Amino acid sequence: MGVALADVRAAHERIAPHVRRTPLARSPLLSRRCGVDVRLKLENLQHTVSFKPRGALNKLMTLGPEQRSRGIVAASAGNHALGVAYACEVLGIAEADLFVQANASPAKLAKIREYPVRLHPVGATYEEAQQAALAHARRTGATFAPAYDDEAVVAGQGSCGLEILDALEGFDAVVVPVGGGALSAGIAVAVKGLRPGVRVIGVNAAASPSALLSFQRGEALDPFEHEPSMAHGLAGGYGRVPFAVARHLIDEIVLVTEAEMKRAMATLIDTDQILAEPSGIAGVAAVIEGKTRLSGRVVVVVSGGNVDAATLREALR
């Protein structure tokens, strides 16, 4: 289970026609507030409003024609399903069954329904949606497209790291939200492969510290029993492939609470008029709350912006 810099570069080239090179923007107000030079990698401006199309595209583009022809099935907390739906559309894959936890953000469910896919809301967790998706794949012979536990997905997400490196000549740390782990692992491969002195810091939701505990115990905890979290995309297990890839590349995992994510959502609107969902804001929350010692120039990945009105109102209160 290895992903090398060459794999990330190949994925970057492969998916480039179908993804946006998202902005890397300096936040003067956050920089002043946090005492470091904060640059925001705005994956909330990616197609489908999250980083997920990167991994989904690379996974589907590396499948053979026969695998594609059987149809695609995926499980998701919301954003991966959107990424797969987008990838199927641009690649001309006609059949896709997407199993999404029924309590996913209404904004995400509404967007998925705009694509020519079959949406199956099921269960209250990603794990329940995945069980239903795998059962469907076994029953129909469709090809399962993992959300995070896959080498091609990790390499695709790593294209975000190459964009950061292309856009910014020098920086001291990159802070990345961590759920299943593909984004942080892919970025770590790119960053450590080209600038090994840069610190890579992952941010777990305190309600689901699967990555932190996986690193402490020396094994990937997937599935993982977790408390309820508004950050659905960060809740659940930490993948075996991301763990194998990133265990010696990620320097630190820190935790942010539900209240800290809410405060960060409101703060980012105040400082930069940027809308981020709870899963996407975790890195910003960690920097604002001083969860790790930082200096110099710091890149923070804002990994998604699919937030519904009710969650936004709660954060703004």
pTM recorded for the entire structure: 0.97
Architecture of domain 5-51+150-316 in this structure:
3-Layer(aba) Sandwich (3.40)
CB neighbours of 287 closer than 8 A, spacing ≥ 6?
30, 34, 36, 38, 175, 294, 298, 300
Q: How many other C-beta atoms lie within 10 A of the C-beta of residue 240?
A: 18
- What is the Cα–Cα distance from 266 to 174, expressed in whole angstroms? 22
Compute the residue count for the chain: 317
pLDDT at 244: 97
pLDDT at 1: 60
What is the H or E stretch that residue 200 is in?
strand 199-205
pLDDT in tens, 263-311: 999 999 999 999 999 999 999 999 999 999 999 999 999 999 999 898 8
Domain boundaries in the chain?
5-51+150-316, 53-144
**What fold characterizes domain 53-144?**
Rossmann fold (3.40.50)
DSSP assigned state of 50: B
pLDDT at 316: 87
Name the stretches of the chain with pLDDT < 70: 1
pLDDT at 299: 98
